[in-house]
Structure 1
Amino acid sequence: MDQAHDPAKRFDRKRFLRIGGIGAAASIVAPAATAHAAPAAPESTLVFNVKDFGARGDGSFDDTPGIAAAVKAAAGGGTVYFPPGDFQVKGEILIQADNIVLRGAGWASRLTQTDTGVAGKAILRFANATGVAVRELSFTGRGTEHVVLDGNRKYNGVAAVRFDKCTNVTVSGCRIARHAGGGIRWTGSLRGALFADNTITGIGIANGSDPGPIGAKDNNNDFAIGQWESSPNDNIVIRGNTISGHCFGIGSGHGNGLVISDNVIHDIPGQHGMYLSAPGGAQISGNVIRKVALNCVNVQIASSVQEDVSSLVVSDNVLYDAAAGVVLNIASEVPKAGFRQPVIVGNSVRAVREYGIAVNRTWNGSIIGNTVSGTGAYGLLLNGFSGTVRDNTVQNTNWNGLYVDLIGDTYSSDNVFTDCAMNTTNATAADRLAFYVNAVKTDPEITPQPVLHSDSDLLHAASPEPSTLRKCLHSSAGTGVFLRGLVNRTSKPWEFKGELLHLDFAYSRTADFSDSAHLFPSTPVHGRGRRELYGLRDPKTAGMAGSFQPGDTCWHARPTAGGTPGWICVAAGEPGEWKAMAPLAV
């Protein structure tokens, strides 16, 4: 194994040369405290070697009693040390002591589960403990414990490490493999935890005699790191882990102070890369998530926790090869709760089968600086939204680049939409999916009229444009639209069934509004709203091709005193009828 990736190579074995029998002392340097979660207590100078209590570590002996005896001896506060070896564990080792550390000599210290009848338990289970840690150990499960219920595979095997109602815990530098019941799990509330720099591989990747792979959409308790329950949690940091092969990557119930950063999650064959249930104050940043059966990041307000989610930040993640990138979801049984002021910024989402970024019932959200490329459906799906959509790049979407169901004013600015609505032929209600930008209002009780403010957005289509593209922008009845500084480089017109409040293109290849009835003549419209060009002759005399509308203007490129300043289109056509403006005064 490469030295840079083997904790055993990095571990300072000199610290353990003086380890002897019961009560033998060694000088052990305390670990640095994390800035985010409360750390476990510093390691004691009292070190208890499991081999001194009867464990052999030879791979052929039941080492459970010896390990349990060492744990009991260290219960007053000490370090249980596993030297290099293969330690067999039958059943579960229960630890109910505070301020205890279990440490190996890197991944060369291996704990292997041998019992097939311990479904739902763990190799190491801490109960009602505080200030405990597991470091630099390797865990191996049997990888075969599962039953089939209700058409879904339910993997109910052992976990590697489990915490029941614990506080201030750490698991770091461990390797965990073939555990059908998950890697690092907890039940009840967990308050203060650091799970860092672990490598966790489940049974979902076929390996030798393993039964994998887990079926797509299998829904069970198999989390690499996390829990299924809705118990509140506080100050949990999950950082720098590499995860694969589990039904879920990382999961957590509701709570505050959740930080998930710099993890690599890949090959999740059952459900989501991350599944979080109504977390408050959560930060998800710098993760790489790929090859996931469902969503890379799924944050849900479930029926068990019907409360608003606030202070959620999803930033600078790389997400690809999944059903969707970032999804803020609300269970159908939740009538009112939603997301307040979430920030989704700087993420890269590509090659997803459905949505790039999808949010539901979101007030004052910020969708900023994301790149979305290659979606089977929407690029940005904002289903019940108010807030800011700024500086995003969305390209190669089969449906709308931006779909926003307005529940309040929404500000769209400096976004680039390229090659959207590429394939809507097989979609339900294909006409509503065939726009670059689609602003709708579906809740009749939303008052006052919500407005989409679009400023300096760029809409660009490749040549040739897809035949599925119907209109560049569409707005439904009940909405207001304020457009300024737009660059429309598609050849498609706009369609306003909502109220057009302002229109001022920076550039547009077309001045066709599709249907003048959609302009609502009683509405004051400010801005140019018509095509402008320059030339020495009017378009008809010049033999120009293209469709023009009344009000389009061609300015004289070299105006002179006594000559016309330009021409105005007075009848639609290709290129239509044009009249010269009154001559300039001499």
Structure 2
Amino acid sequence: MVFRIRPIIGDSFKRKERIGNRRARFSSLLALSKFDFEEEHEMNKQLDVHTDTESGLSGELNAAISRRRLLAAIGMSGAGMAAGALMSGGIGLAAPRGSVTEMVYGLSADCGSCVVPATIAELRVMTGTVTGTAFYVTDSGQEGHFYYDPGDTSSPDDTGLVLVSTAGYRFKRIYEGPVHVKWFGAKGDGSSDDTAAIQAAINGLAGGGVAFLPSSTYIVSSTVSIPYPNVKIMGSGSSTVIKAAAASNYETMISASGLSGIEIADLVVDANKANRTGLTVRTVAILLASCTDSSVDNCIVQNTIGGGGIPGVGIALGGVSVRCKVTGCILKDCGVAGKAADGVYTSGTQNLIMNCIALNCTDTGFVIEKSSLSGIIGCTAKQCGAGAAITNASAADVTGNFIDGLTIYDWSASNTGGIQIGTPNASLGALLNTRVSNVTMERVAGSGPSVYARQQGGKIIGLTLENIRINGAGTQGILFNATDILIANCHIYNTTNAGIQSQGACERVVIEGCYIYGGSFGIALTTGCTGCHIVGNVMIGITGQTNYGVYCFGTGTNINCIMNTIENVTVRKIGYDAGTLPNVFSSVNAGISTNATATATALGTLSRKFQIFDKDGGSIGFIPVYSTIT
């Protein structure tokens, strides 16, 4: 490659002045015109967003210097090309003085302002004088510029950012923005163990920053831990794969605990369940435990597995995480028969699962557990045991969780249903003020209700189910046991049992504006259901199916059926057991249906009347009102 240099006139260039220290020489290099070059380094292309602040130099070179500008000045694509002696006798490309060995070992005259090509091995065995010289490391995948820091005698050799020679010299990489895991010796060849190299790259981010994994497959044999806040692990999308080593026996692949500002983005994390037959633990691909303001974005997570009676997890926002997000992720092939796994799990406060896809997760696609003010937004679950769950298994109350936008296709969990809401064990913490809305569900196989709100410990108080479209259910469309529940504007088709059914003691229930087609019952209210209002619903039976419109079982009290439309049922429009007497007022065949009339053998005194109109508004007469009936 031929570089063209455009001179810049200014105080920075004093052609006959010899630069006497490192800071002055690098400032001069920066002041040079930029070389034109033909290609950008892959990492700079990927991570331009991280280069808008200039913070790469450390130690004595902590000047405001841009890595990109420096590399442009000395020829970023000119790996191994010397750029020294640019100041002596005119501007031009410098030739190395002597051999590489002489340059590295200090056997030639002082190079002045040279940039000397060298390997990592050569720097590590250096014994000569190096003050005043910059080095360009030429090892494949680890290329970059280093300088000697005479003031540092303690930094350890981490291969990527600091190299230590046998003489105790510390050579420090000149960089800005992300650190590259291959600088630290990661091979990314799909067979070498890259755990230590990746961990070293992350450990180099004590002040925060980005660890970048370019397109490759990286094998990890133990947990990669994030020890510092404000750290991001970033790949190149689906071509960057972090894969658990075959036969390895550890739980979590990438982990951070109690930190803020953690980001994991644009990579594949593969727990490799098929090749870890000796596992004695469950597996979790990504765990942010009790983290704050952190996220997992645009990742593909796959092949986790349960163990020890505990579900595996693709991505977990565990503990008491606060304001954390999982966005744009795909969770697939998690769990096997008998060792189920969830797609995404979250606990804590104000956490969000957004625009994610769960595919073939044998437990639950998306789980909000022991959490408050957390939500599932715009997600899809296909062929999972259950599509989603909002539950509380703790002794403390939780509140304000929601689902807003969820499509579920083909679920199979008979015990939880397609969506589980509730308190599934004996813990006494209540689930308060939960909302599920804008949901589409289609069942292909399996059993169980579509939406199941169940309380086995603490109460479910304040539940709203609205705008839910259900096609097919193993049993009920919506099965609930709750207090203060609103079921509104739901469309339920082709259930094998009731379209909507209560279970156990339920108080203050409103079911309004729903359309129910088929099922053995349109709406069924069981014993102990009180304060119920069934208002403005449409229930249509299927020919040949034994069905009721509304049926009230047992001894429910204060049940009002108002202005419902019930058609094509084969038994009764509204039926009830002897212990229940619902209050009915509906329209039937353009007439009035009510069970609130009084019997009489003779009319009493006519006191008032109210007028009846036809469909065009014309009066067709009056209905009398009698002050007494005898």
**Interval containing the TM-score (normalised by the shorter chain):** 0.5 to 0.7
Question: Is residue 62 of structure 1 aligned with residue 187 of structure 2?
Answer: no
Q: Is the 8 A contact 1:91 1:115 kept in 2?
A: no
- Cα deviation for residue 155 of structure 1 reads 9.2
Distance 1:145 1:63, change over 3 A: closer
Deviation of 1:379 after TM superposition, in Å, equals 0.5
CA contact (8 A) 2:502 2:529 kept: no
C-alpha distance in 2 between matches for 1:85 and 1:75:
25
The match for 1:171 is: 296
Alpha-carbon shift at residue 146 of structure 1 (Å): 7.5
Distance 2:292 2:262 in 1: 8
**Percentage of identical aligned residues:** 16
Match of 1:162 among 259, 284, 287: 287
Q: CA deviation at 1:114?
A: 1.0
- Is residue 250 of structure 1 aligned with residue 366 of structure 2? yes
Q: Deviations over 1:415-444 (max 9, x none)?
A: 0000169645xxxxxxxxx422011345xx
State the shift of 1:45 in Å: 6.8
1:438 aligns with 2:551: yes
Note if 1:364 corresponds to 2:493. no
Pairwise CA distance, 1:21: 8.8
Amino acid at match of 1:238: I
Partner of 1:459: 566
1:408 has 2:523 as partner: no
C-alpha change, 1:20 and 1:201, in structure 2 (3 Å) is: farther
Change (3 A) 1:303 1:14: closer
Q: TM-score, normalised by structure 2?
A: 0.62
Per-residue deviation, residues 173-231 of structure 1 (Å, max 9, x unmatched) = 01112222331024432222100100111246xxxxxxxxx34xx4x56111116xxxx
Q: Distance in 2 between matches of 1:363 and 1:92?
A: 44
Q: Aligned-pair distance for 1:22? A: 8.6
Q: Could you tell me whether the CA contact under 8 Å between 1:166 and 1:190 is conserved in 2?
A: yes
CA contact (8 A) 1:21 1:52 kept: no
Distance verdict in 2 for CA 1:479–1:521, change over 3 Å: farther
Give 3-state SS (helix, strand or coil) of 1:68's partner: helix
Structure 2 residue runs of 5 or longer lacking an equivalent are 1-41, 59-64, 69-174, 306-311, 393-397, 601-619, 621-630
Map 1:475-486 to 2 at 5 A: 475-486=576-587
Conserved in 2, the CA contact under 8 Å of 1:13 and 1:105?
no
What secondary structure does 2:274 align onto? Answer: coil
Aligned to 1:124: 254
**Cα shift at 1:108:** 1.7
238, 254, 257: which one aligns with 1:107: 238
1:470 offset after TM fit, Å? Answer: 2.6
Q: 1:340 aligns with which of 434, 441, 461?
A: 461
Indicate the residue corresponding to 1:373 in structure 2.
493
Aligned-CA RMSD value? 3.4
3-state SS, counterpart of residue 479 of structure 1 = coil
Counterpart of 1:273 in 2: which secondary structure? strand
What is the deviation of 1:387? Answer: 2.3
User: Partner of 2:591 in structure 1?
Assistant: 506
Which residue type is aligned with residue 268 of structure 2?
S
Please identify the structure whose Cα radius of gyration is greater: 2
1:284 aligns with 2:403: yes
Task: Give the whole-Å Cα distance in 2 for the aligned partners of 1:411 and 1:288.
Answer: 29
Q: Report the Cα distance in structure 2 between the residues aligned to 1:81 and 1:422, rounded to whole angstroms.
A: 64
Matched, 1:318 2:450: no
Aligned pairs for 1:16-55 within 5 A: 46-55=177-186
Q: In structure 1, how many angstroms separate the alpha carbons of the residues matched to 2:304 and 2:586?
A: 56
Matches of 2:185 and 2:276 in 1, distance apart?
32
Note if contact 2:422-2:431 (Cα within 8 Å) is conserved in structure 1. no
Which one is further off, 54-63 or 67-76? 54-63
Contact 2:297 2:326 survives alignment (8 Å): yes
Greater relative CO, 1 or 2 (CA 8 Å, sep 6+): 1
CA contact (8 A) 2:179 2:210 kept: yes
Using a 3 Å threshold, how does the CA distance of structure 1 residues 135 and 25 change in structure 2: closer, same or farther? farther
Q: Per the alignment, do residues 25 and 380 of structure 1 end up closer, same or farther by CA in structure 2, a change over 3 Å counting?
A: farther
TM-score w.r.t. the length of structure 1 is 0.66
SS class of match (2:196): helix
Q: What is the DSSP-based 3-state SS (H/G/I as helix, E as strand, rest coil) of the residue aligned with 2:418?
A: strand
- Contact 2:290–2:348, Cα closer than 8 Å, also in 1: no
| 1:15 shift after superposition | 4.8
Contact 2:343 2:365 in 1 (8 A): yes
Q: Distance in 2 between matches of 1:26 and 1:359?
A: 61
SS of the counterpart of 1:131? coil
Tell me whether 346-355 or 275-284 shows the greater mean CA deviation.
Answer: 275-284
**Distance of aligned partners of 1:303 and 1:356 in 2 relative to their CA distance in 1, 3 Å threshold:** same
Q: Secondary structure at the match of 1:287?
A: strand
> 1:102: Cα distance to partner?
0.7
Q: What is aligned with 1:96? A: 227
CA distance in 1, matches of 2:284, 2:543: 45
Shift, 1:519, TM fit: 9.3
Task: Give the aligned partner of residue 389 of structure 1.
Answer: 511
Change (3 A) 1:156 1:372: farther
8 Å Cα contact 1:147-1:156 kept in structure 2: no
2:272 maps to what in 1?
Answer: 142
Counterparts in 2 of 1:243 and 1:78: CA distance versus 1, 3 Å = same
Counterpart secondary structure, 1:188: strand
| Aligned amino acid, residue 363 of structure 1 | T
Give the match for residue 308 of structure 1: 430
Cα-to-partner distance string for 1:129-180 (whole Å, 9 max, x where unaligned): 22211011111221226789xxxxx994432211233222200101112222
The change in CA–CA distance for 1:421 and 1:96 in structure 2 (over 3 A counts) is farther
Per-residue CA shift, 1:291-325, capped at 9, x if unaligned?
11122110121335313322111101001215322
Cα distance, 1:388 vs. partner?
A: 1.2
Q: Specify the alignment match of 1:234 in structure 2.
A: 349
Equivalent residue of 2:229, what SS? coil
Separation in 2 of the partners of 1:51 and 1:20? 21
How big is the shift at 1:253? 1.9
Q: How far, CA to CA, are the matches of 1:111 and 1:477 in structure 2?
A: 65
Aligned residues, how many? 425
